[in-house]
Amino acid sequence: GEALLPEGWTEAVRVTLGADGRITTVQPRAAPAADDHRADILLPAVANLHSHTFQRGMAGLAERRGPAGRDSFWTWRDTMYRFLDLLTPEDVEAIAAQAFIEMQKAGFCAVAEFHYLHHQPGGAEHDDIGELAGRIAAAASETGIGLTLLPVQYRQGGADGRALAGGQKRFGNTLERFTVLMERSEEIARALPADTRVGVAPHSLRAVTLDDLAELARLRPQAPIHIHAAEQVPEIEEITAAYGARPVELLLDRFGADSRWCLIHATQMLPAETKRLAASGAVAGLCPVTEANLGDGIFDGARYLGAGGRLGVGSDSNIRISVNEELRQLEYSQRLHDRARVVLAAHGESCGRTLYDAALAGGAQALGRDSGAIAPGRLADLVALDRDALEGATGEAALDFWTFCGGREAVRDVWSAGRHSVRSGRHVAREAIAARYRAAMAGLRGRL
């Protein structure tokens, strides 16, 4: 087989993994040994930089057009709030475990879980403020996926400071209570493998005050910080009316968004904002499948990459979990917008390779994860593709085929920090987790 190393495609590579989940040696042109695990095509694996796992349980439930008016992100959000009000802690864990399995089977090695479901329906706290964070951690532990847990601060219902209402009450915390939640989340994370990280996630400029955002940015100065930004036109209008600046402009000018920041979506940027975000070193956290499903708009990809911007991909609502389909949707959105072909690759370059390299680097940066390359000392986040599923393609052609023609069936093996959870296309914990998921969904559908 062949492997994608930092120096390029290399034949007959032996990669040795250490007990600490890191790559110890990489030997090109090595003679095979009897106990080697064989791979046709070995790649560094992509990290999923944005997920709300509970929304996996909503897949297919929000595709009926409403009785009047225009369906939009905001009408979808109403459906999502009604759904989350039904979820028990057991449901949250069952759905998260199923989503994490599907992520690994799709080729993701790790996930940044943007975790904002903290309380009981109506907003009452659990006895343990970290009850639901603990459920996410338990699902990650059972499935073996790498986890960057992002507890979300959600203080208000809009930039005008209105109170939380309906389903939002399950998200809400004062800054003081959120600090307690962070500490509890870090305690939970210490029981997970050493590659686990905890970051900070102000939900959006609508949901936190500017003073709170300044405090959140200082709360864990070395940790990743993720925020929804510039997803929808009404959001832009609300923030501009409240603060006299557009969201991306505000995050750059007032908060100095830099390489520890990940701005999720950023679909509604002006050209000058696009170039400034690219120059900042922050990651644009794109979720093309979800953005298409919600009608968010089209990211300014060619301008952003042309200015040296960093990006990664996430599965967000988890309506469809797939590494290659996120990359495909990203490129196809650009083609439809520009009425052109092969928009995001440089002249003469493979589009599949360009997109995959960008997602590798941006995902690792956004998760604070020492991965993204097959090299000694890096986390052993690896994915093996089946050449037969790629019709015998090799090298760049294999990445092009997988991105634009292939599917999840091409993924044969996945290692997350050395944990070999997907083997020959099947997850090692699939039966028990699938049974719990089916039981949870049967109960939920009975209450919808």
Annotated catalytic residues are: 265, 316
Residue 53, both tokens: 């796992």
Q: Which residues pair with 412 in a beta bridge?
A: none
> Distance between CA atoms of 51 and 228, rounded to whole angstroms?
12
Residue 14, both tokens: 């032996």
Q: Do 339 and 333 contact (CB within 8 A), yes or no?
A: no
- Please, what is the Cα angle at 96 between 435 and 425, to 5 degrees? 65
Helices (H) and strands (E) in the chain, counts: 14, 18
Burial of residue 177, with CB atoms counted within 10 A of its CB: 0-12 exposed, 13-18 middle, 19 or more buried: middle
From start to end of 116-252, where are the E strands? 146-153, 197-198, 201-202, 225-229
Q: Do 206 and 235 contact (CB within 8 A), yes or no?
A: yes
> Distance between CA atoms of 173 and 165, rounded to whole angstroms?
13
Residue linked to tokens 């992509």: 46
Q: Do 188 and 151 contact (CB within 8 A), yes or no?
A: no
DSSP 390-424: GTT--HHHHHHHHHHT--GGGEEEEEETTEEEEET
Look at residue 49 and give its three-state secondary structure.
strand
Q: Which residues contact 71 (CB under 8 A, 6 or more apart)?
A: 65
> Distance between CA atoms of 435 and 437, rounded to whole angstroms?
5
Torsion sign (Cα): 52, 57, 58, 60: positive
H or E stretch at 2: strand 2-5
